[in-house]
Amino acid sequence: MSVSSALYTTSHEKASSVPYNPKHMSESFFVSLLLGSSIKFPWQNGIQLSHTTELKVTHNRVDIVYFEEKEAGEVGAVVAVEAKLKDWKKALRQAYRNHLFADRVYVALPSAHASSAIKNISQFRQTSVGLIVWEDSRAKVYYHPPKNRSVSRWHASSVRTSLEALVSGK
């Protein structure tokens, strides 16, 4: 399995804060807004999360992967976030496949294109994919999924090994 990443930072490092303009926003800018926001996950319980972006897992890239750095460079909890500007159905399909390796999976959308996703929140619940909406200059979580119980051991181990190598600089 091939895993690579474009960026690795700890959660206390913030992306630059540039004014939000939904009409002239790229997906990469949207990702930077999300990273600059303090998303509060109720299951986090004080765990310090680091993140990486554009993590390549097999033939796909995950927009944001948050992960817990444990003692001795090990990786604990892994959370995958698919960010899309408009197409929530495509984001949901992409996020669903991240169940192969992630403990929790989310879709993130800007509020200008999130109303249809919110109306269809039952599809997020059925697939155990969380929903994050960027509104009023902050990330608001509309649905927190349960912990994924069907992780592929092989995929999860491969991703964690790659994240551990990323953290250690190897």
Q: What's the pLDDT tens digit per position in 85-130?
A: 999 999 999 999 999 999 999 999 999 889 999 999 999 999 999 9
Amino acid at 140: K
Name which of 22, 98, 21, 90 is nearest 58 in CA terms.
Answer: 98
Identify the bridge partners of residue 81 per DSSP, sorted by sequence position: 64, 106
Instruction: Tell me the residue range of the domain where 115 lies.
Output: 3-168
Flag residues of the chain having pLDDT under 70: 1-24, 170
Name which of 143, 111, 92 is nearest 30 in CA terms.
Answer: 111
Identify the bridge partners of residue 114 per DSSP, sorted by sequence position: none
d(CA 22, CA 1): 36
Question: What pLDDT is attached to residue 39?
Answer: 82
Question: What pLDDT is attached to residue 25?
Answer: 77
Q: Burial letters for 109-144: b for 16+ Cβ neighbours within 10 Å, e otherwise?
A: bbeeebeebeeeeeebeebbbbbbbbeeeebebbbe
Number of domains in the chain: 1
Question: What pLDDT is attached to residue 70?
Answer: 86
d(CA 78, CA 69): 10
Residue that is written with structure tokens 């996020």 in the block: 95
Give one word for 70, left, alpha or beta, with left for phi > 0 and alpha for psi -120 to 50: beta
Residue pair 123/116 in contact (Cβ under 8 Å)? The answer is: no
Quick one: tokens of 21?
């303009």
Question: What pLDDT is attached to residue 21?
Answer: 57
